[in-house]
Amino acid sequence: MDILRIATAGSVDDGKSTLIGRLLYETKSITKDKIEALESASKRKGIDFLDLSLLTDGLIAEREQGITIDVAHIYFSTPNRKYIIADTPGHFEYTRNMVTGASNTSVSIILIDARNGVVEQTKRHFYISSMLRIKNIIVAVNKMDLVTYSQEKFEAIKNELLEIAKQVSFKGQTLQFIPISSLYGENLVRKSNETPWYEGATLLDTLENFGTQNLELSTIQARFPVQHVVRPKTEEYHDYRGYAGKIASGTFLIGNLVEALPSGQISKIKTIEKFGIQLESGNAKDSVVITLEDNIDLSRGNMLIKVGEKPESRKEVNAKICWLDNQMLTVGKTYLLQHGINRVKAKITNISSVIDIKNMSLSNEAPVNGGLTLNEIGWISLKTASPIFADKYEENPANGSFILIDESSNSTVGVGFVE
């Protein structure tokens, strides 16, 4: 059984909660006691739809203010696969939470209220989904019941978004438009009779047919960051030395010629193991232990790659960055850069431009206030104390991102995408 990870974003009133609630309900992933509690709580609040936020707004602060602040994780499954929804707030003020929730997902559901059409928030969701290279975008045009299931209305929204896609979308990204009514369950799990003009699949069928991120990651160049060296030093495993880690991308086979980074030493894969079980190969996201034919210099934070597929050794890095902290990012400041599991010191050398995520316009000037503030996205350059072996994010998302840690607070303050 595989897992499909989905990002959703938006506010309560666009019907997102009802949509998720229905998916849970119709896949029998929510129990009766929870549905009943939801129904009565929704009624008490005087609303006529299922207010799922009552179920997912788990923090006192969220319930007090009636807003979603932090990412909620929602789980459901079909006989075919398990789904994890990272449900994030849609407001500009919580852009960082949206970026956080959407990292790791391969599908993004952008919800549009058919009455209102494309709004500022729609563009922002689309932009962030594309920035994270989320491959599958579903544009769910909701509340079709309130526009009498008008094909004209649907097509108009579709065309407007296709126009925006010309600037925002990337090659290989798929864009699917589905007319739905969450309230009545039209085209969610059941094909609607109200939209005879719509020939596409329902929302759930569309999800069921997507390939997973792992499958895709397995087809690109192989990267194996070493997390931990296993040396049992017991009688039975006297000379055993295994390299434990999760394969970031690609596929490794027994017998592959591999290079250790940064040492540059070459060896051959002897075994690929999982709890003593010998595998023939390991794919992206498999947590395995790899043993080599030779004793070479390889420890935590180092990387194993296949000979001839070496990523660039970078001491100077250009990246797009989303700032997550209240303390501004400024030129000259030093942070700890964590690339996968490897940490190095890094100094910001330049901020070249900032994107106005609120109005979706790019300024090619340096930022007015001298740095990047919370929720801002910009292009920066930095230099590292020792080289990192990163790929461009667009070529290998699993080896092309990093976080910045502020050493005075230990907080994670930024996320970067290598360019």
Q: Which is nearer to other proteins, 146 or 341 (CB)?
A: 341
Task: Report the residue number, 11 or 412, with the smaller CB distance to other proteins.
Answer: 412
- E strands, 90-217, in order: 107-113, 136-142, 174-179
Query: With respect to other proteins, which residue has the nearer C-beta, 196 or 275?
Result: 275
Tokens of 274: 């999982």
Tell me the closest approach of the beta carbon of residue 111 to other proteins, in angstroms: 21
Instruction: Find the shortest distance in angstroms from Cβ 197 to other proteins.
Output: 37
Is the peptide bond preceding residue 387 cis, with omega within 30 degrees of 0?
A: no
Least Cβ distance, residue 409 to other proteins (angstroms): 9
User: Of 309 and 407, which CB lies nearer to other proteins in the complex structure?
Assistant: 407
Which DSSP state fits 249? Answer: B
CB of 282 to other proteins, least distance (A): 10
What are the backbone dihedrals phi and psi of residue 108, each rounded to the nearest 5 degrees, phi first?
-125, 125
Burial class from Cβ neighbours inside 10 Å (0-12, 13-18, 19+) for residue 160 reads: middle
Tell me the closest approach of the beta carbon of residue 223 to other proteins, in angstroms.
Answer: 13
**Three-state secondary structure readout of 311-378:** CCEEEEEEEEEEECCCCCEECCCEEEEEECCEEEEEEEEEEEEEEECCCCEEECCCCCCCEECCCCEE
CA atoms of 351 and 356, how far apart (whole Å): 14
Shortest reach from residue 407's CB to other proteins, in Å: 8
Pick 106 or 187: Cβ nearer other proteins: 106
* Residue 214 or 349 with smaller CB distance to other proteins: 214
Q: What angle do CA 258, 264, 269 make, to 5 degrees?
A: 20
